[in-house]
């Protein structure tokens, strides 16, 4: 498919990432080269600098949505899907309710997502299915661990991070459990406890208990067997 009118979208979460991570310029260059290879006309690159992907309250993404609904282009290109959004609910809103509704394709330079083709559209759908399955399995394993601890005399003084108490029962909180998993991944990437907490705060990822992340919060979830399978 050629002669498509394309736009790009780039984002970094913090000033530090803008300097040391996958910079805006790097993302923009990869998108430009990709469009050249596809023989697509890149009209514009929407930008959100120093903004988290936790929600859609970003000037760049809001302008992208507005222009997409006006059908000003044919395809949206990103460096990676998580640049668009880190939340599955927001991602599917953009793809289904905004892009698909306006007959606009969606492509990731660094991943096999290309809704301008039937195969690419199916691939993106399967990724979403397995991502949801992983979250459900994590929730089940964590609740099983809690039930076992309770049967062994473990007393739950306060609700653990990633859970809510509903009707006297623990219910998993998908968004907060996803934050727990992200924090563990940052720690595995050799960030210190303090750096992990700072990164979580910089991206606007809050805990329901205290609002902010601290080094002690990260230490708690790393040392607690409740989160061994997260």
Q: Is residue 128 part of a domain?
A: no
pLDDT at residue 63 above 90?
Answer: yes
Q: Is residue 129 part of a domain?
A: no
Q: Is residue 126 part of a domain?
A: no
Q: Which has the closest alpha carbon to 81: 43, 103, 113, 104?
A: 113
Of 116, 143, 178, the one marking the end of a domain is 116
Based on the fold, state whether residues 77 and 140 are members of the same structural domain.
no
Residue with tokens 């727990």: 180
d(CA 88, CA 187): 23
**Any idea what the CATH number is for the domain that residue 61 is in?**
3.40.50.1390
Q: Is residue 9 part of a domain?
A: yes
What does the pLDDT read at residue 64?
97
d(CA 47, CA 23): 11
Q: Is residue 130 part of a domain?
A: no
Based on the fold, state whether residues 22 and 69 are members of the same structural domain.
yes
Q: Which has the closest alpha carbon to 45: 22, 69, 67, 15?
A: 67
Question: Domain span at residue 205?
Answer: 135-227
- Gyration radius of the chain's alpha carbons: 20
Domain total for the chain? 2
Based on the fold, state whether residues 70 and 168 are members of the same structural domain.
no
* Confidence band of 119 (pLDDT split at 50, 70, 90): low
- What is Dmax (Cα atoms) for the chain? 67
Contact between residue 195 and residue 183 where contact means Cβ atoms under 8 Å apart: no
Based on the fold, state whether residues 10 and 105 are members of the same structural domain.
yes
Based on the fold, state whether residues 108 and 194 are members of the same structural domain.
no
Q: Is residue 70 part of a domain?
A: yes
Active site residue 13: yes
Taking only the tens place, the pLDDT of each residue in 195-221 is 888 888 887 777 766 678 888 888 888
Based on the fold, state whether residues 77 and 139 are members of the same structural domain.
no
> Which two tokens mark 22?
């996958």
Based on the fold, state whether residues 154 and 60 are members of the same structural domain.
no
d(CA 146, CA 1): 52
Based on the fold, state whether residues 143 and 110 are members of the same structural domain.
no
* Confidence band of 16 (pLDDT split at 50, 70, 90): very low
d(CA 86, CA 156): 31
- Got the DSSP string for 136-169? HHHHHHHHHHHHHHHHTT----SPPTTEEEETTE
Of 116, 143, 165, the one marking the end of a domain is 116
pLDDT at residue 160 above 80?
Answer: no
Based on the fold, state whether residues 27 and 62 are members of the same structural domain.
yes
Contact between residue 221 and residue 179 where contact means Cβ atoms under 8 Å apart: no
**Residue spans of beta strands (DSSP E) within the chain:** 5-12, 41-49, 75-78, 105-108, 163-166, 169-172
Instruction: Give the predicted TM-score (pTM) of the model.
Output: 0.56
Percent of the chain with pLDDT over 90: 27
Active-site hit among 13, 85, 139, 172? 13
Give the CA angle between residues 55, 128, 53 to the nearest 5°: 20
Q: Which residue did the predictor score with more confidence, 40 or 229? A: 40
Based on the fold, state whether residues 14 and 99 are members of the same structural domain.
yes
* Confidence band of 95 (pLDDT split at 50, 70, 90): confident
Mean pLDDT of 43-58: 89
Residue with tokens 């750096």: 195
Based on the fold, state whether residues 139 and 211 are members of the same structural domain.
yes
Q: Is residue 123 part of a domain?
A: no
């Amino acid at each position: 498919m050629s002669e498509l009118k394309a736009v790009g979208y780039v984002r970094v979460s913090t000033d530090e990432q803008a300097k040391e991570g996958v910079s805006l310029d790097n993302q923009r260059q990869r998108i430009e080269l990709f469009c050249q290879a596809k023989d697509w006309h890149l009209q514009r690159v929407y930008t959100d600098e120093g903004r988290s992907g936790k929600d859609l309250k970003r000037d760049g993404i809001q302008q992208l949505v507005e222009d997409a609904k006006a059908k000003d282009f044919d395809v949206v290109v990103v460096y990676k899907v998580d640049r668009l959004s880190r939340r599955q609910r927001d991602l599917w809103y953009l793809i289904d309710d905004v892009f698909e509704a306006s007959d606009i394709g969606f492509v990731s330079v660094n991943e096999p997502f290309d809704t301008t083709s039937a195969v690419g559209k199916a691939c993106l759908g399967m990724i979403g299915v397995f991502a949801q399955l992983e979250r459900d399995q994590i929730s089940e394993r964590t609740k099983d661990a809690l039930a076992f601890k309770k049967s062994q005399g473990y007393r739950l003084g306060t609700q653990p991070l990633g859970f809510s108490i509903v009707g006297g029962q623990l219910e998993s909180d998908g968004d907060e459990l996803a934050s727990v998993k992200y924090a563990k991944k940052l720690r595995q990437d050799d960030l210190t406890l303090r750096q992990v907490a700072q990164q979580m705060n910089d991206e606007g990822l809050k805990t329901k208990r205290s609002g902010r992340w601290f080094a002690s919060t990260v230490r708690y979830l790393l040392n607690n067997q409740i989160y061994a399978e997260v």
